[in-house]
A and B are shown apart, each in its own frame.
Chain A
Amino acid sequence: MATDQLSTTFAALADPTRRAILARLSHGEATVNELAEPFPMTVQAVSKHLKVLERAGLIARGRTAQLRPSRLQGDPLGEAAGWLDEYRAFWEDGFDKLREHLARG
Chain B
Amino acid sequence: MAEAPAAHVIEIARVYPAPREAVWAAWTDPAQIAGWWGKRGWRTPPESVEIDLRPGGVFRLDSVSEADGTVMRHDGVFRAVEPPGRLAFGTAGSEATVTFADVGVGRTEMVFRVELTTTDAIRRRAENGLGSAFDRLGEQLRTGEQA
Number of chain B residues close to chain A: CB under 8 A = 50
CA distance A74 to B26 in the complex (A): 41
Q: Mark A46-87, 1 if CB is under 8 A from B, else 0.
A: 000000000000000000000000011011011111111111
A 28-58 to B, binary, CB cutoff 8 A, 1 in contact else 0? 1000000000000000000000000000000
Q: How far is the CB of A75 from chain B (nearest CB, A)?
A: 6
B103 interface residue per 8 A CB criterion: no
Residue of B8, B18, B137 with highest tally of chain A CB at under 10 A? B137
| Contact across chains for B112 and A95 when beta carbons are under 8 A apart | yes
Contact size range, A: 35 or more
Residues of A within 8 A of B147 (CB): 27-28
Name the one of A6, A13, A71, A85 contacting B4, with C-beta atoms under 8 angstroms.
A13
Give me the interface of B with A, judged by CB distance under 8 Å: 1-8, 10, 12, 14, 16-18, 22-23, 26, 32, 35-40, 110, 112, 114, 116, 118-119, 121-123, 125-126, 130-139, 141-142, 144-145, 147
Chain A residues closer than 8 Å to B32, beta-carbon distance: 101, 105
The answer to whether B130 and A90 touch across the interface, beta carbons within 8 angstroms, is: yes
Q: Are A78 and B139 in contact (CB under 8 A)?
A: yes
With contacts A83-B119, A84-B10, A94-B37 known, is A78 near B18, CB below 8 A? no
Partner of A98, one of B26, B132, B145: B26
Complex interface: chain B residues within 8 A of A95 (CB): 12, 14, 110, 112
Spell out A's residues near B (CB within 8 Å).
3, 6-7, 10, 13-14, 18-20, 22-23, 26-28, 71-72, 74-75, 77-105
Knowing A26-B1, A91-B114, A93-B40, the reply to whether A74 touches B10 (Cβ < 8 A) is no
